[in-house]
Structure 1
Amino acid sequence: MKKIFILLASAFFYTAASAQTTWTVDKAHSNVKFTATHLMVSDVDGIFKNYDATITSSKPDFSDAKFQISIQTASVTTDNDQRDKHISSPDFFEVAKYPTLTFTSTGITKTSDKHYKLAGNLTLHGVTKPVTFDLWYRGTIVNPMSKADDAGFQLTGTINRSDFAFGPSIPNAVVSDEIAIKANGEFGKAK
Structure 2
Amino acid sequence: MQPRYLVPVAAALMITAVPVLATSQSGPQVPGAQDVSRVSAGTYRTDPLHTLVGWSVNHFGFNDYYGVFGDAEGVLQIDPANPAAASVAVTIPITSLAVVSEGLREHLLRGGKDGAAADFFGPEPAPAIFRSTSVRMDDDDKDEAVITGNLTLNGVTRPITIEAEFTGAGANPMSKKETIGFEGETVIRRSEFGMSALIPLVADEVELKISAAFEKQ
Q: TM-score range by the shorter chain?
A: 0.7 to 0.9
Structure 2 unmatched ranges of 5 or more: 1-40, 111-117
Residue 50 of structure 2 corresponds to which residue in structure 1? 29
The 3-state SS of whatever aligns with 2:107 is helix
Report matched runs for 1:44-55 at 5 Å: 44-55=65-76
Structure 1 unmatched ranges of 5 or more: 1-19
Corresponding residue to 2:120 among 82, 86, 92: 92
Corresponding residue to 2:171 among 113, 134, 142: 142
Residue 176 of structure 1 corresponds to which residue in structure 2? 203
CA distance in 2, matches of 1:50, 1:59: 26
**RMSD, aligned α-carbons:** 1.9
User: Which has more helix, going by share of residues?
Assistant: 2
Deviation of 1:61 (Å): 6.8
Deviation of 1:138 (Å): 1.4
Report matched runs for 1:59-70 at 5 Å: 59=80, 62-70=83-91
Give the partner amino acid of 2:95: A
CA distance in 1, matches of 2:81, 2:107: 43
Report matched runs for 1:11-160 at 5 Å: 21-59=42-80, 62-89=83-110, 90-96=118-124, 98-111=125-138, 112-160=141-189
Residues 57 and 66 in structure 1, CA contact (< 8 A), matched pair in contact too: yes
CA distance in 1, matches of 2:105, 2:179: 33
Residues 134 and 33 (structure 1), Cα distance of their counterparts in 2 relative to 1, 3 Å cut: same
Residues 51 and 71 in structure 2, CA contact (< 8 A), matched pair in contact too: no
CA distance in 2, matches of 1:35, 1:102: 19
Give the partner amino acid of 2:150: N
Residue 162 of structure 1 corresponds to which residue in structure 2? 191
Q: Report Cα offsets for 1:52-109 as digits up to 9, x if no partner.
A: 122112335743221111111122121111000111121101242x321111111100
Name the TM-score, length of structure 2 as normaliser.
0.72
Residue 20 of structure 2 corresponds to which residue in structure 1? none
Residues 184 and 211 in structure 2, CA contact (< 8 A), matched pair in contact too: yes
Residues 182 and 213 in structure 2, CA contact (< 8 A), matched pair in contact too: yes
Residue 12 of structure 1 corresponds to which residue in structure 2? none
Residue 10 of structure 1 corresponds to which residue in structure 2? none
Residues 73 and 95 in structure 1, CA contact (< 8 A), matched pair in contact too: no
Give the partner amino acid of 1:121: N
User: Which has more strand, going by share of residues?
Assistant: 1
Residue 185 of structure 1 corresponds to which residue in structure 2? 212
Residues 30 and 169 (structure 1), Cα distance of their counterparts in 2 relative to 1, 3 Å cut: closer
**Structure number, greater radius of gyration:** 2
